[in-house]
Chain A
Amino acid sequence: MADTFEKVKQIVVDRLDVDEDKVTLEASFKDDLEADSLDVVELVMELEDEFDLEIADEDAEKISTVGDAVNYINSNQ
Protein backbone atom coordinates (compact mmCIF):
# COMPACT_ATOMS: atom_id res chain seq x y z
CA MET A 1 0.00 0.00 0.00
CA ALA A 2 2.60 2.53 1.05
CA ASP A 3 4.78 1.52 -1.84
CA THR A 4 1.99 1.97 -4.37
CA PHE A 5 1.16 5.35 -2.88
CA GLU A 6 4.75 6.52 -3.17
CA LYS A 7 4.90 5.49 -6.83
CA VAL A 8 1.55 7.09 -7.65
CA LYS A 9 2.58 10.23 -5.80
CA GLN A 10 5.75 10.55 -7.87
CA ILE A 11 3.80 10.17 -11.12
CA VAL A 12 1.22 12.74 -10.03
CA VAL A 13 3.93 15.21 -9.00
CA ASP A 14 5.72 14.81 -12.34
CA ARG A 15 2.62 14.84 -14.48
CA LEU A 16 0.64 17.61 -12.81
CA ASP A 17 3.58 19.64 -11.63
CA VAL A 18 2.28 20.02 -8.06
CA ASP A 19 4.02 20.08 -4.66
CA GLU A 20 4.58 16.68 -3.10
CA ASP A 21 2.83 17.57 0.15
CA LYS A 22 -0.39 18.34 -1.69
CA VAL A 23 -0.59 14.78 -2.96
CA THR A 24 -2.44 13.01 -0.16
CA LEU A 25 -4.73 9.97 -0.41
CA GLU A 26 -7.73 12.27 -0.03
CA ALA A 27 -6.62 14.75 -2.68
CA SER A 28 -9.02 15.05 -5.63
CA PHE A 29 -7.25 15.32 -8.96
CA LYS A 30 -9.63 17.93 -10.30
CA ASP A 31 -10.46 19.92 -7.15
CA ASP A 32 -7.20 19.83 -5.21
CA LEU A 33 -4.55 19.16 -7.83
CA GLU A 34 -5.87 21.38 -10.59
CA ALA A 35 -6.05 18.64 -13.19
CA ASP A 36 -8.47 18.96 -16.10
CA SER A 37 -10.34 15.98 -17.58
CA LEU A 38 -7.64 15.35 -20.15
CA ASP A 39 -4.94 15.41 -17.46
CA VAL A 40 -6.80 12.69 -15.56
CA VAL A 41 -7.10 10.56 -18.71
CA GLU A 42 -3.37 10.91 -19.28
CA LEU A 43 -2.61 10.15 -15.68
CA VAL A 44 -4.64 6.95 -15.82
CA MET A 45 -2.79 5.97 -19.01
CA GLU A 46 0.52 6.49 -17.28
CA LEU A 47 -0.57 4.47 -14.26
CA GLU A 48 -1.59 1.65 -16.62
CA ASP A 49 1.88 1.64 -18.14
CA GLU A 50 3.70 1.98 -14.83
CA PHE A 51 1.77 -0.78 -13.05
CA ASP A 52 1.26 -2.88 -16.17
CA LEU A 53 -2.50 -3.15 -15.95
CA GLU A 54 -5.46 -2.19 -18.05
CA ILE A 55 -8.05 0.06 -16.47
CA ALA A 56 -11.45 -0.19 -18.17
CA ASP A 57 -13.08 3.11 -19.12
CA GLU A 58 -15.94 2.60 -16.66
CA ASP A 59 -13.46 2.00 -13.82
CA ALA A 60 -11.27 4.91 -14.87
CA GLU A 61 -14.25 7.22 -14.59
CA LYS A 62 -14.59 6.34 -10.91
CA ILE A 63 -11.05 7.36 -10.08
CA SER A 64 -11.26 10.90 -8.76
CA THR A 65 -8.81 10.97 -5.85
CA VAL A 66 -5.25 9.77 -5.38
CA GLY A 67 -6.63 7.19 -2.91
CA ASP A 68 -9.04 5.87 -5.56
CA ALA A 69 -6.12 5.25 -7.87
CA VAL A 70 -4.02 3.57 -5.18
CA ASN A 71 -6.91 1.34 -4.12
CA TYR A 72 -7.68 0.36 -7.69
CA ILE A 73 -4.08 -0.56 -8.37
CA ASN A 74 -3.73 -2.56 -5.14
CA SER A 75 -6.88 -4.56 -5.70
CA ASN A 76 -6.17 -5.29 -9.38
CA GLN A 77 -2.54 -6.35 -9.35
Chain B
Amino acid sequence: MLKNQVALITGASRGIGREIALTLAKNGAKVVVNYAGSEDKAQAVVDEIESNGGEAIKIQANVSDESEVKAMIKETTKTFGNLDILVNNAGITKDNLLMRMTEADFDDVIDINLKGVFLCTKAASRQMMKQKSGRIINLSSVVGISGNPGQANYVSAKAGVIGLTKTTAKELAARNILVNAIAPGFIATDMTEKLDEAQKEQMLSLIPLNKLGKTEDVANVALFLASEQSNYVTGQTIQVDGGMVM
Protein backbone atom coordinates (compact mmCIF):
# COMPACT_ATOMS: atom_id res chain seq x y z
CA MET B 1 0.00 0.00 0.00
CA LEU B 2 2.82 2.41 0.86
CA LYS B 3 5.65 0.74 -1.02
CA ASN B 4 8.84 2.84 -1.18
CA GLN B 5 7.24 5.72 0.71
CA VAL B 6 9.07 7.31 3.58
CA ALA B 7 7.14 8.08 6.76
CA LEU B 8 8.32 10.10 9.75
CA ILE B 9 6.34 9.62 12.93
CA THR B 10 7.05 11.90 15.88
CA GLY B 11 6.80 10.46 19.36
CA ALA B 12 6.86 6.95 17.95
CA SER B 13 8.53 5.12 20.81
CA ARG B 14 5.25 4.18 22.46
CA GLY B 15 1.47 4.34 22.45
CA ILE B 16 -0.37 5.54 19.38
CA GLY B 17 2.82 6.75 17.64
CA ARG B 18 4.42 3.34 18.01
CA GLU B 19 1.36 1.61 16.59
CA ILE B 20 1.23 3.97 13.62
CA ALA B 21 4.95 3.37 12.93
CA LEU B 22 4.42 -0.41 13.00
CA THR B 23 1.30 -0.21 10.83
CA LEU B 24 2.82 2.02 8.15
CA ALA B 25 5.94 -0.19 8.10
CA LYS B 26 3.79 -3.32 7.76
CA ASN B 27 2.27 -1.71 4.68
CA GLY B 28 5.60 -1.08 3.01
CA ALA B 29 6.72 2.34 4.25
CA LYS B 30 10.26 3.06 5.34
CA VAL B 31 9.88 4.51 8.77
CA VAL B 32 11.66 7.12 10.85
CA VAL B 33 10.93 6.61 14.54
CA ASN B 34 11.32 9.96 16.28
CA TYR B 35 11.66 10.04 20.03
CA ALA B 36 12.53 12.63 22.66
CA GLY B 37 13.88 10.60 25.59
CA SER B 38 13.03 6.91 25.38
CA GLU B 39 15.91 5.64 23.26
CA ASP B 40 15.48 2.01 24.30
CA LYS B 41 11.82 1.99 23.42
CA ALA B 42 12.49 3.70 20.08
CA GLN B 43 15.14 1.09 19.30
CA ALA B 44 12.64 -1.65 20.19
CA VAL B 45 10.24 -0.24 17.57
CA VAL B 46 13.03 -0.17 14.97
CA ASP B 47 13.98 -3.75 15.87
CA GLU B 48 10.40 -4.94 15.58
CA ILE B 49 10.00 -3.33 12.14
CA GLU B 50 13.28 -4.83 10.94
CA SER B 51 12.41 -8.28 12.26
CA ASN B 52 9.26 -8.10 10.13
CA GLY B 53 11.41 -7.35 7.07
CA GLY B 54 10.84 -3.60 7.05
CA GLU B 55 13.22 -0.64 7.05
CA ALA B 56 13.44 1.84 9.92
CA ILE B 57 15.77 4.21 11.74
CA LYS B 58 15.36 6.17 14.95
CA ILE B 59 16.13 9.87 15.34
CA GLN B 60 16.20 11.75 18.62
CA ALA B 61 14.73 15.25 18.44
CA ASN B 62 12.66 17.56 20.59
CA VAL B 63 9.84 18.67 18.28
CA SER B 64 9.60 22.07 19.98
CA ASP B 65 13.19 22.93 19.01
CA GLU B 66 13.44 24.23 15.45
CA SER B 67 17.10 23.36 14.88
CA GLU B 68 16.58 19.79 16.11
CA VAL B 69 13.54 19.43 13.86
CA LYS B 70 15.44 20.72 10.83
CA ALA B 71 18.29 18.33 11.52
CA MET B 72 15.82 15.44 11.82
CA ILE B 73 14.25 16.19 8.43
CA LYS B 74 17.70 16.50 6.89
CA GLU B 75 18.78 13.15 8.31
CA THR B 76 15.55 11.57 7.06
CA THR B 77 16.03 12.70 3.46
CA LYS B 78 19.74 11.87 3.61
CA THR B 79 18.98 8.32 4.72
CA PHE B 80 15.91 7.52 2.64
CA GLY B 81 15.99 10.15 -0.16
CA ASN B 82 12.41 11.38 0.28
CA LEU B 83 9.81 12.29 2.84
CA ASP B 84 6.28 11.34 1.82
CA ILE B 85 4.34 11.04 5.06
CA LEU B 86 4.65 13.07 8.25
CA VAL B 87 2.69 11.99 11.30
CA ASN B 88 2.70 14.67 14.00
CA ASN B 89 1.99 12.54 17.02
CA ALA B 90 4.40 13.64 19.76
CA GLY B 91 2.52 14.93 22.76
CA ILE B 92 2.59 15.33 26.51
CA THR B 93 0.05 16.06 29.24
CA LYS B 94 0.39 18.18 32.36
CA ASP B 95 -3.14 18.11 33.68
CA ASN B 96 -4.48 20.36 36.39
CA LEU B 97 -7.47 22.54 37.05
CA LEU B 98 -7.16 25.91 35.39
CA MET B 99 -6.93 27.63 38.77
CA ARG B 100 -3.99 25.44 39.74
CA MET B 101 -2.24 25.19 36.38
CA THR B 102 1.11 26.95 36.29
CA GLU B 103 2.21 29.09 33.39
CA ALA B 104 5.09 26.68 32.81
CA ASP B 105 2.71 23.70 32.56
CA PHE B 106 0.62 25.59 30.04
CA ASP B 107 3.64 26.62 27.96
CA ASP B 108 5.26 23.17 27.99
CA VAL B 109 2.16 21.46 26.61
CA ILE B 110 1.58 24.13 23.96
CA ASP B 111 5.25 23.95 22.95
CA ILE B 112 5.28 20.21 22.30
CA ASN B 113 1.68 19.56 21.23
CA LEU B 114 1.04 22.62 19.06
CA LYS B 115 4.29 24.41 18.23
CA GLY B 116 5.89 21.04 17.58
CA VAL B 117 3.30 20.34 14.87
CA PHE B 118 3.98 23.73 13.31
CA LEU B 119 7.77 23.25 13.28
CA CYS B 120 7.68 19.70 11.91
CA THR B 121 5.11 20.66 9.28
CA LYS B 122 7.15 23.66 8.18
CA ALA B 123 10.37 21.68 7.85
CA ALA B 124 8.74 18.67 6.16
CA SER B 125 6.59 20.63 3.73
CA ARG B 126 9.72 22.12 2.21
CA GLN B 127 10.72 18.64 1.06
CA MET B 128 7.15 17.70 0.11
CA MET B 129 6.78 20.85 -2.00
CA LYS B 130 9.84 19.80 -3.98
CA GLN B 131 8.33 16.36 -4.47
CA LYS B 132 4.95 17.92 -5.30
CA SER B 133 3.23 15.40 -3.11
CA GLY B 134 2.91 14.49 0.53
CA ARG B 135 0.69 13.55 3.41
CA ILE B 136 0.62 15.21 6.77
CA ILE B 137 -1.39 13.58 9.54
CA ASN B 138 -1.81 15.47 12.79
CA LEU B 139 -2.90 13.84 16.02
CA SER B 140 -5.48 16.04 17.67
CA SER B 141 -7.87 14.72 20.30
CA VAL B 142 -11.58 14.55 20.77
CA VAL B 143 -11.18 16.82 23.80
CA GLY B 144 -9.94 19.49 21.38
CA ILE B 145 -13.52 19.47 20.08
CA SER B 146 -15.47 18.90 23.30
CA GLY B 147 -13.29 20.50 26.00
CA ASN B 148 -12.28 18.61 29.13
CA PRO B 149 -11.94 19.81 32.70
CA GLY B 150 -8.38 19.65 34.00
CA GLN B 151 -6.81 19.93 30.56
CA ALA B 152 -6.87 23.61 29.65
CA ASN B 153 -3.37 23.38 28.19
CA TYR B 154 -3.87 20.09 26.35
CA VAL B 155 -7.30 21.02 24.98
CA SER B 156 -6.03 24.39 23.77
CA ALA B 157 -3.17 22.71 21.95
CA LYS B 158 -5.37 19.99 20.42
CA ALA B 159 -8.00 22.51 19.27
CA GLY B 160 -5.12 24.55 17.83
CA VAL B 161 -3.97 21.50 15.89
CA ILE B 162 -7.35 21.31 14.15
CA GLY B 163 -7.07 24.94 13.02
CA LEU B 164 -3.48 24.43 11.96
CA THR B 165 -4.53 21.35 9.98
CA LYS B 166 -7.16 23.31 8.05
CA THR B 167 -4.82 26.20 7.28
CA THR B 168 -1.97 23.96 6.22
CA ALA B 169 -4.37 21.96 4.05
CA LYS B 170 -5.45 25.14 2.27
CA GLU B 171 -1.92 26.48 1.82
CA LEU B 172 -0.42 23.26 0.52
CA ALA B 173 -3.30 21.87 -1.54
CA ALA B 174 -1.87 23.46 -4.67
CA ARG B 175 1.23 21.30 -4.27
CA ASN B 176 -0.72 18.08 -3.80
CA ILE B 177 0.06 17.85 -0.11
CA LEU B 178 -2.92 16.55 1.85
CA VAL B 179 -3.24 17.47 5.50
CA ASN B 180 -5.69 15.86 7.88
CA ALA B 181 -6.12 15.34 11.59
CA ILE B 182 -7.19 12.40 13.68
CA ALA B 183 -9.03 13.05 16.93
CA PRO B 184 -8.81 9.93 19.07
CA GLY B 185 -11.11 9.51 22.02
CA PHE B 186 -10.32 7.32 24.96
CA ILE B 187 -7.55 4.99 23.75
CA ALA B 188 -5.76 2.56 26.06
CA THR B 189 -2.13 3.82 26.26
CA ASP B 190 0.48 4.84 28.85
CA MET B 191 -1.09 8.27 28.81
CA THR B 192 -4.59 7.08 29.71
CA GLU B 193 -3.25 4.71 32.39
CA LYS B 194 -2.47 7.79 34.44
CA LEU B 195 -6.19 8.41 34.84
CA ASP B 196 -7.76 6.92 37.96
CA GLU B 197 -10.53 4.29 37.96
CA ALA B 198 -13.27 6.78 38.72
CA GLN B 199 -12.22 8.91 35.73
CA LYS B 200 -12.19 5.82 33.51
CA GLU B 201 -15.64 4.68 34.65
CA GLN B 202 -17.00 8.12 34.03
CA MET B 203 -15.47 8.21 30.54
CA LEU B 204 -16.87 4.79 29.60
CA SER B 205 -20.35 5.94 30.46
CA LEU B 206 -19.96 8.61 27.76
CA ILE B 207 -18.87 6.24 25.00
CA PRO B 208 -21.73 4.72 22.94
CA LEU B 209 -19.53 1.76 21.93
CA ASN B 210 -18.91 1.28 25.68
CA LYS B 211 -15.24 0.35 25.44
CA LEU B 212 -11.83 1.95 25.17
CA GLY B 213 -10.31 2.31 21.74
CA LYS B 214 -7.18 0.41 20.80
CA THR B 215 -4.06 2.00 19.35
CA GLU B 216 -4.72 -0.13 16.23
CA ASP B 217 -8.03 1.67 15.73
CA VAL B 218 -6.16 4.95 15.40
CA ALA B 219 -3.31 3.49 13.35
CA ASN B 220 -5.76 2.10 10.77
CA VAL B 221 -7.20 5.56 10.18
CA ALA B 222 -3.66 6.95 9.89
CA LEU B 223 -2.94 4.28 7.27
CA PHE B 224 -6.06 5.32 5.36
CA LEU B 225 -4.99 8.98 5.45
CA ALA B 226 -1.45 8.08 4.36
CA SER B 227 -2.61 5.94 1.46
CA GLU B 228 -4.14 6.52 -1.96
CA GLN B 229 -7.48 5.50 -0.48
CA SER B 230 -7.87 9.09 0.75
CA ASN B 231 -6.76 11.00 -2.35
CA TYR B 232 -9.71 13.41 -2.20
CA VAL B 233 -9.65 14.08 1.54
CA THR B 234 -7.90 17.12 2.99
CA GLY B 235 -8.38 19.54 5.87
CA GLN B 236 -10.54 17.07 7.80
CA THR B 237 -10.52 15.90 11.38
CA ILE B 238 -11.56 12.27 11.71
CA GLN B 239 -12.78 11.27 15.16
CA VAL B 240 -11.83 7.81 16.36
CA ASP B 241 -13.73 7.86 19.60
CA GLY B 242 -16.41 5.16 19.67
CA GLY B 243 -19.04 7.82 19.16
CA MET B 244 -18.11 9.77 22.29
CA VAL B 245 -18.52 13.20 20.71
CA MET B 246 -20.96 13.77 17.88
A residues with CB within 8 A of B: 36, 38, 41-42, 45
Cβ of B126 under 8 Å from chain A = yes
| 11 A-B residue pairings within 8 Å (CB atoms) | A36-B174, A38-B129, A38-B171, A38-B174, A38-B175, A41-B129, A42-B129, A42-B130, A45-B126, A45-B129, A45-B130
Say what secondary structure dominates the interface of chain A: helix
Which residues of the other chain, A, contact B174 by a CB distance below 8 angstroms? Answer: 36, 38
Number of residue pairs A-B, CB distance < 8 angstroms: 11
Name which residue of chain A comes closest to B127, CB basis: A45
Which residues of the other chain, A, contact B175 by a CB distance below 8 angstroms? Answer: 38
Q: What's the nearest-Cβ distance from chain B to residue A40, in Å?
A: 12
Which residues of the other chain, A, contact B171 by a CB distance below 8 angstroms? Answer: 38
Say what secondary structure dominates the interface of chain B: helix
Which residues of the other chain, B, contact A38 by a CB distance below 8 angstroms? Answer: 129, 171, 174-175
B residues with CB within 8 A of A: 126, 129-130, 171, 174-175
State A38–B175 Cα separation when bound (angstroms).
Answer: 9
Which residues of the other chain, A, contact B130 by a CB distance below 8 angstroms? Answer: 42, 45
Which residues of the other chain, B, contact A45 by a CB distance below 8 angstroms? Answer: 126, 129-130
State A36–B126 Cα separation when bound (angstroms).
Answer: 16
Which residues of the other chain, B, contact A42 by a CB distance below 8 angstroms? Answer: 129-130
Nearest first, the 4 closest Cβ-Cβ pairs linking A and B are A42-B129, A38-B174, A45-B126, A38-B175
Name which residue of chain B comes closest to A42, CB basis: B129
Q: What's the nearest-Cβ distance from chain B to residue A21, in Å?
A: 27
Which residues of the other chain, B, contact A36 by a CB distance below 8 angstroms? Answer: 174
Q: What's the nearest-Cβ distance from chain A to residue B100, in Å?
A: 38
State A45–B130 Cα separation when bound (angstroms).
Answer: 9
Name which residue of chain A comes closest to B130, CB basis: A45
Q: What's the nearest-Cβ distance from chain B to residue A43, in Å?
A: 11
Q: What's the nearest-Cβ distance from chain B to residue A49, in Å?
A: 9
State A3–B199 Cα separation when bound (angstroms).
Answer: 68
Name which residue of chain B comes closest to A46, CB basis: B130
Which residues of the other chain, A, contact B129 by a CB distance below 8 angstroms? Answer: 38, 41-42, 45
State A42–B130 Cα separation when bound (angstroms).
Answer: 8
Name which residue of chain A comes closest to B129, CB basis: A42
Name which residue of chain B comes closest to A48, CB basis: B126
Which residues of the other chain, A, contact B126 by a CB distance below 8 angstroms? Answer: 45
Add 7 more A-B contacts to A36-B174, A38-B171, A45-B126 (CB < 8 A).
Answer: A38-B129, A38-B174, A38-B175, A41-B129, A42-B130, A45-B129, A45-B130
